[in-house]
């Protein structure tokens, strides 16, 4: 069953179902709809055991390096995903705002009326995070550490943005409703738990706190305005559930590869790729 025919992901017996969640009910007003979206935060990957391990000081240097190297694949996919959203979007005002997300990650060098403005971008900042945790630029950027499960999750997200109406991708980006908390959590805990990591490497998280807020203000307004009928609003919850699954499953794959407290990592597969073959 393709995603497009996928039934609403919010089953009527969902734990947060309320009488107005049953088919045929009237659409939620904007405040209620926003509350329903925010209630999904219970499934956000801040609660995943791998993230809890990272942010409570339980991670080894190898687990941190594995997380940074694997999440790099997600980071470099974000501007590609956002370019797909823009390619599908026929609304210039939306694109004028959405393009900021690409620039946040890819960086820019622009000649403005007051002279040149430039920023190295979030991808470069993530590489600096990688170097701060002991990875080389080369082993970060050649993706040698990215495990198949992370790759599949990220590729599914990019493919979603390429195939679905741009408003669906705007809705999917709303996992960032919960992102400022996870970035603040890292900024608050990593220096104490991992003093060996140069704090200059944490600048990505610092930048994302405000960028995520700006993204969410824009994405939430579009989502609340676009998904109007009750079935559309339930479908929006299903889209958010899909993206929450993307983030959660990435952590599952990293936990399998690098272990959790009290749980050993799964042995690497025999004949693991040596990088010689071109990715399909």
Would you tell me which residues interact with ligand AHQ (CB under 6 A)?
78, 173, 175-176, 179, 182, 208
Q: Which of 112, 150, 131, 161 is nearest to 249 (CA)?
A: 150
Nearest to ligand AHQ of 177, 230 (CB atom):
177
Tokens 């026929």, located at residue: 90
**What is the distance between the alpha carbons of residues 213 and 202, in angstroms, rounded to a whole number?**
18
Number of Cβ atoms within 10 Å of the Cβ of 41: 15
Torsion sign over Cα 123, 160, 10, 50:
negative
- C-beta closer to ligand AHQ: residue 75 or 233: 75
Contact in structure between 25 and 162 (CB atoms under 8 Å): no
Nearer to ligand AHQ, 141 or 185 (CB): 185
Of 7 and 57, CB closest to ligand AHQ? 57
Q: How far is the CB of 81 from ligand AHQ (least distance, A)?
A: 6
Q: Minimum distance from CB of 218 to ligand AHQ (Å)?
A: 11
Q: Nearest approach, Cβ of 253 to ligand AHQ (angstroms)?
A: 15
We find the least distance from the C-beta atom of residue 20 to ligand AHQ, in angstroms, to be: 27
Q: How far is the CB of 68 from ligand AHQ (least distance, A)?
A: 11
Q: Which residues contact 18 (CB under 8 A, 6 or more apart)?
A: none
How is residue 47 written in tokens?
């609660």
CA-to-CA distance for 195 and 71, rounded, in angstroms? 21
CB neighbour class for 22 (10 Å; exposed up to 12, middle 13-18, buried from 19): exposed
CB 246 within 8 A of CB 78: no
Residue number, 175 or 233, with CB nearest to ligand AHQ: 175
The two most distant CA atoms of the chain are separated, in Å, by 58
Minimum CB separation of residue 186 from ligand AHQ in Å reads: 8
Q: Which is nearer to ligand AHQ, 17 or 181 (CB)?
A: 181
DSSP track, 36-55: HHHHGGGGSGGGSHHHHHHH
- Is the Cβ of residue 43 or residue 256 nearer to ligand AHQ in the bound state? 43
> Smallest gap, in angstroms, from Cβ of residue 42 to ligand AHQ?
14
């Amino acid at each position: 069953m393709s995603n497009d025919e996928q039934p609403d992901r919010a089953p009527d017996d969902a734990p947060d179902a309320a009488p107005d969640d049953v088919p045929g009910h009237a659409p939620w007003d904007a405040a209620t709809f926003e509350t329903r979206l925010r209630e999904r935060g219970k499934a956000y990957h801040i609660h995943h055991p791998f993230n809890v391990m990272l942010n409570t000081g339980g991670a080894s240097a190898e687990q941190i390096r594995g997380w940074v190297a694997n999440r790099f694949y997600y980071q470099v996919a974000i501007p590609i995903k956002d370019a797909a959203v823009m390619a599908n979007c026929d609304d210039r005002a939306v694109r004028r705002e959405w393009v900021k997300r690409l620039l946040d990650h890819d960086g820019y060098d622009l000649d403005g009326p007051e002279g040149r403005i430039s920023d190295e971008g979030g991808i470069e900042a993530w590489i600096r995070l990688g170097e701060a945790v002991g990875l080389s630029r080369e082993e970060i950027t050649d993706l040698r550490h990215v495990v198949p499960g992370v790759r599949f999750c990220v590729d599914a997200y990019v493919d979603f943005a390429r195939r679905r109406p741009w408003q669906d991708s705007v809705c999917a980006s709303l996992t960032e409703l919960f992102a400022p908390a996870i970035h603040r959590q890292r900024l608050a805990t990593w220096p104490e738990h991992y003093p060996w990591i140069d704090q200059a490497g944490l600048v990505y998280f610092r930048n994302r706190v405000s960028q995520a807020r700006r993204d969410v203000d824009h994405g939430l307004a579009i989502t609340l305005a676009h998904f109007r009928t009750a079935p559309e609003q339930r479908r929006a919850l299903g889209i958010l559930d899909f993206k929450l699954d993307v983030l959660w499953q990435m952590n599952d794959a990293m936990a399998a590869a690098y272990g959790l407290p009290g749980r050993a990592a799964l042995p690497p597969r025999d004949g693991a790729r040596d990088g010689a073959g071109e990715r399909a």
